[in-house]
């Protein structure tokens, strides 16, 4: 990978990916599906991790109509259930002996106050903890190919002043927008922390973070309720299409130009849209002490220990 700063990355720069294998969460629609299309056209093998097997099978049927020689495989995954995540980890191991990249694409945005199957606030549990556990379970497969882990954040991370460690689930004073912003800040804090740990361990695995700008997807209609749903529906008229919004994910997971530890996305006004290039995380996202604390909290909540060690 090059150290050159990316300023206007285009899909035409993506090379042939024959023999490469990528796992994308939430790949049955929106940005995840569009990223799968781009990778498919480059002849990559794609594993689609989807909550609904019916929608996942429909997505695979649609992808088979896209020119490309790679294999397609469906993984059932509900990021709001650690039992489902563990089963998905087993399924991924059964399907392949290595991954060139994992894209943490799936997410939920500003729903009414709800909990995951394990009692976590739905957005923090799904967007952050679910991907933390999944990445932990399949990390050996990524390591086997010196692949990439791609946490997908959002411009909404800029709205969060930091992780609410006193009440990370917002159980006492729930705000859907604050909880969402926190979950996307957590994605970026975690990604940058994993990158630091990998570098310290001398690992060849890369972490490349990204965000899709403002892209019209089901995210704006399946989570928000009431007036916010109407606002998003109107705003979506001016949003990017998934084919464009997914470019930062494709660059991050498969582009030769991607730099470990970097953060890519649209670079226009407010990072809402525009040419894909390198973006700058907020100060709270670069807080190393908060990142280490979040890592420890994530391990505690999930009942796991994830120690990044030197490669064998």
Q: Does domain 11-300 have CATH number 3.40.1180.10?
A: no
Active-site residue, from 22, 174, 180, 190? 180
- Residues 132, 74, 258: CA angle, nearest 5 degrees: 55
Return the SS3 of 161: coil
What SS3 state is found at 75? strand
- Domain ranges in the chain are 11-300
Closest alpha carbon to 258 in 239, 272, 240, 277 = 277
Predicted local confidence at residue 222, as pLDDT: 58
- Single pTM value for the model: 0.92
pLDDT 10s per residue in the chain (312 long)? 444 578 999 999 999 999 999 999 999 999 999 999 999 999 999 999 999 999 999 999 999 999 999 999 999 999 999 999 999 999 999 999 999 999 999 999 999 999 999 999 999 999 999 999 999 999 999 999 999 999 999 999 999 999 999 999 999 999 999 999 999 999 999 999 999 999 999 999 999 999 999 976 655 455 555 544 444 554 455 668 899 999 999 999 999 999 999 999 999 999 999 999 999 999 999 999 999 999 999 999 999 999 998 665
Q: Tokens for 156, please give them.
A: 């909404």
Catalytic annotation on 180? Answer: yes
């Amino acid at each position: 990978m090059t150290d050159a700063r990316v300023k206007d990355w285009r899909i035409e720069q993506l090379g042939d990916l024959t023999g490469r294998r990528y796992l994308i969460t939430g790949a049955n629609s929106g940005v995840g599906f569009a990223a799968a299309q781009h990778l498919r056209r480059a002849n990559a093998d794609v594993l689609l991790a989807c909550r609904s097997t019916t929608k996942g099978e429909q997505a695979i049927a649609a992808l088979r109509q896209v020119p490309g020689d790679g294999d397609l495989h469906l993984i059932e995954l509900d990021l709001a259930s650690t039992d489902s995540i563990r089963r998905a980890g087993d399924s991924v191991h059964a399907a392949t002996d290595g991954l060139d990249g994992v894209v943490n694409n799936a997410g939920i945005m500003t729903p009414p106050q709800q909990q995951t199957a394990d009692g976590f606030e739905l957005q923090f549990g799904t967007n952050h903890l679910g991907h933390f556990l999944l990445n932990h379970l399949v990390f050996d497969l990524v390591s086997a190919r010196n692949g990439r882990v791609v946490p997908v954040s959002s411009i909404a991370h800029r709205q969060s002043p930091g992780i609410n460690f006193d009440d990370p689930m917002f159980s006492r004073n729930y705000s859907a927008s604050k909880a969402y912003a926190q979950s996307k800040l957590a994605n970026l804090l975690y990604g940058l922390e994993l990158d630091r740990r990998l570098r310290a361990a001398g690992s060849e695995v890369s972490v490349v973070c990204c965000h899709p700008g403002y892209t019209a997807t089901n995210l704006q209609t399946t989570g928000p309720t009431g007036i916010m749903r109407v606002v998003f529906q109107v705003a979506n008229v001016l949003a990017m299409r998934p084919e464009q919004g997914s470019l930062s994910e494709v660059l991050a997971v498969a582009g030769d130009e991607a730099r470990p530890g970097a953060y890519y996305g649209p670079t226009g006004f407010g990072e809402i849209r525009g040419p894909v290039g390198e973006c700058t995380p907020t100060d709270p996202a670069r807080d190393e002490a908060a990142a280490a604390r979040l890592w420890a909290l994530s391990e505690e909540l999930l009942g796991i220990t994830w120690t990044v060690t030197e490669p064998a």
